[in-house]
Amino acid sequence: MHKAFHFDSPRQRYRCDAAIVWCFDNRFEVVLRRLVKRLGLSYYDPIRIAGGTKCLASPDHDRDREFVLEQIRISMRLHATETVILMLHSDCGAYGGLAAFDGDTALEAEHHRQELHRAAQILKTEIPGLDVKGYFVDFEGVWEIDLAGVTAVKIA
């Protein structure tokens, strides 16, 4: 092993401002950094997985949901995380892209709003007391989704 370059990183543990469940689509990397800055998050734990919040709301496999829930629990245990930010974006390949909505951006946005609500309900059921926020990102902006009235539900 050889040192590729020198970098000083703080050694002390941190308290996490939020865990962010987000897709790994790099087209939206700048948006994520800007949102983190706008929200004033100093420390956050990124949970990046194809489809992001889809893995909670409508996973292809139950293990996907369990994986994300476990990552959130680890963030809580290691970094005292109390807030989770759920994010979805337009033209996400995990949903079949915009083509899955026949190119209808309004239909896609509404579907993702419902998915964020479903994911928030699951989180509030599985991890009571967690503060959950939701955002939908398209190619024109970031849209905050009102999750204030979302309550826990029985999971089938």
Q: Tens digit of pLDDT for each residue in 42-84?
A: 999 999 999 999 999 999 999 999 999 999 999 999 999 999 9
| Cα–Cα nearest to 38, from 11, 9, 18 | 18
| Cα–Cα nearest to 150, from 111, 113, 124 | 124
Residue 98 to residues 95, 102, 106, 118, 127: CA-CA distances in angstroms? Answer: 8, 7, 10, 20, 32
Cα separation of 101 and 109, whole Å? 10
**In a 3-state reduction of DSSP, which class is residue 89?**
strand
Residue type for position 76: M
Cα separation of 142 and 110, whole Å? 14
- Weakest mean pLDDT among 13-27, 84-98, 119-133, 139-153: 139-153
Residue-level pLDDT at 12: 86
The continuous run of DSSP H or E covering 87 comes out as: strand 83-89
CB 86 within 8 Å of CB 133: yes
Given a cut of 60, is residue 14 above it in pLDDT? yes
Q: What's the rounded mean pLDDT across residues 125-144?
A: 96
* Entry pTM: 0.92
Q: What's the rounded mean pLDDT across residues 8-33?
A: 93
